[in-house]
Structure 1
Amino acid sequence: MPGTGGNGAVTRSTLRQQIADALRDEVLAGRLQPGQEFTVKEIADQYGVSATPVREALVDLSAQGLLDAVQHRGFEVRAYSLADYRGMIEARSLVTDGMFHQLTGGDGRDPSDPRLAADLAVVRRRGEEAERAAGAGDLNILIGYDLRFWRELSALFGNPYLADFLHRLRVQSWVCAVQHLRRVSDLKGRLWSRHTDLVDALARRDPAGAHAVVTAYNAHSLDLVERLAAGSAG
């Protein structure tokens, strides 16, 4: 349940964000399934809060593409198709290719700036955590670190609108993928784990290398999800 401050006062906007974050995590963890319906009252009762911040949080999640409003019934978790997943991957690729070009000497941040190298080192450490989680097959930990990895990497681009757009795409991609990945009892060795290779390519100012890493990632993810959706875990 969302916490309160030491004096018991929590701003409505903070509570709204806490509820939205908690529900997003429930969807990513697979505890809220695609198509599952719920009402504002049910969520408010669950978290022990008033209806107003819950309604606002649900509207926010609807705007982010995680929920759909159901007339006279409340909200439901959006059910994404494989066609949706392919579209997300295509959109992600268009954004990241532009970002890589900028980070490696395009019209944006100076690649010789030593602060960029320091920032990439921080992102690389996040990638190391994601890789460890992927190697262990720990999907919950991987999703958390993967989202932070891409959020911090895209922030280096310097355009908060594109960074926010990419973050939403990545959240939606995970929401689409987890409904299939959760069917696998052991994910060790099956999840993408080349985050540091991507950062290293960017540190070398090698946009083609970065593109190749992400292209392989997209192909791996799409192939795995498509096979799981078809009922093949092999």
Structure 2
Amino acid sequence: MMRDMAQDRQGAEPPVLPRLGGRRSSFRERVADALRAALIAGELRPGEVYSAPSLATRFGVSATPVREAMLDLAKEGLVDTVPNKGFRVTAVSDRQLDEYTHIRSLVEIPTVVELARTADRVSLEALRPAAREIVTAAAAGDLIGYVEADDTRFHLGLLALAGNAHLVEVVADLRKRSRLYGLTALVEAGRLLASAEEHLELLDALSQRDEKAVHAIMSRHLGHVRSLWASPD
């Protein structure tokens, strides 16, 4: 849905947002999803102000669903409203990243380790296509595809197997707030693929009921938020 970037815009700078596609019923939902992915992939830069009309032009839709979607993102703390100008992408401080990562570690690691005991193999294997898609996207440098598969389809899908919808909602919010701006640098440095392959490694450990391995993989994977991903240089 969010991977087809507009290629030719004579006399204009390259678009920062992908054009919309797919079958989502609401423009507002589709725009919000695309904006979140663009934020995580670094297509929208922290500190910069974007107007709803300019983003709407890039989407090929009217300004109304874009403005509504940006207001939704403002409620999530991803952007701030700038009167008479538009929306400014908020920056994530080192302290905030530390706090978000700490909370995610407290929630996600024990939850996923428990899945090594409780999740059935059929449900785990159902996540393997998403894990493979993450690896494929990383190898191709497809950041939007990476974010799509990594976020909702794999990590939140995995946590959903614990049967706690509120937990999934909390982690989803933390993942949005700890969005990563260093994905492009990781691709250029050739380090994104290694992180992507950990998803398959994690599924193998879960299927083998290897709790120690699951704990180690999850700890390493979440550590990328503060080490590799947040500080790619």
Q: Normalising by structure 2, report the TM-score.
A: 0.75
1:35 aligns with 2:37: no
- Where do residues 147-166 of structure 1 align in structure 2 (5 Å cutoff)? 147=151, 148-166=153-171
- Once the two structures are superposed, what CA deviation does each residue of 1:110-132 show, in whole Å capped at 9, x if it has no partner? 54xxxx21110011232122234
The question of whether the paired residues in 2 share the 8 Å contact of 1:120 and 1:203 is answered with yes
Which one of 207, 218, 224 corresponds to residue 214 of structure 1? Answer: 218
Q: Distance in 2 between matches of 1:4 and 1:145?
A: 15
The question of whether the paired residues in 2 share the 8 Å contact of 1:127 and 1:146 is answered with yes
Which one of 75, 79, 82 corresponds to residue 87 of structure 2? Answer: 75
Which residue of 2 is the match for residue 55 of structure 1? Answer: 67
Which one of 102, 122, 131 corresponds to residue 135 of structure 2? Answer: 131
1:195 aligns with 2:202: no
The question of whether the paired residues in 2 share the 8 Å contact of 1:88 and 1:169 is answered with yes
| Cα 1:225–1:150 shift into 2, 3 Å | closer
1:170 aligns with 2:155: no
Secondary structure of the residue aligned to 1:76 is strand
Q: CA deviation at 1:227?
A: 4.3
Of 133-142 and 186-195, the range deviating more from structure 2: 133-142
The question of whether the paired residues in 2 share the 8 Å contact of 1:61 and 1:67 is answered with yes
Give 5+ residue unaligned stretches, structure 2: 1-18
Q: CA deviation at 1:72?
A: 4.7
- Once the two structures are superposed, what CA deviation does each residue of 1:141-196 show, in whole Å capped at 9, x if it has no partner? 322221121121122121222112222322333x3x22x33245623245412112
Tell me the C-alpha RMSD between the 2 structures: 3.0
1:145 aligns with 2:145: no
Number of aligned positions between the proteins: 212
The question of whether the paired residues in 2 share the 8 Å contact of 1:134 and 1:142 is answered with yes
Q: Distance in 2 between matches of 1:98 and 1:57?
A: 34
- Once the two structures are superposed, what CA deviation does each residue of 1:75-132 show, in whole Å capped at 9, x if it has no partner? 1111112222222221221221342254244xxxx54xxxx21110011232122234
Q: Distance in 2 between matches of 1:3 and 1:125?
A: 21
Give 5+ residue unaligned stretches, structure 1: none
Secondary structure of the residue aligned to 1:75 is strand
Q: Normalising by structure 1, report the TM-score.
A: 0.75
1:22 aligns with 2:27: no
Secondary structure of the residue aligned to 2:87 is strand
| Cα 1:141–1:40 shift into 2, 3 Å | closer
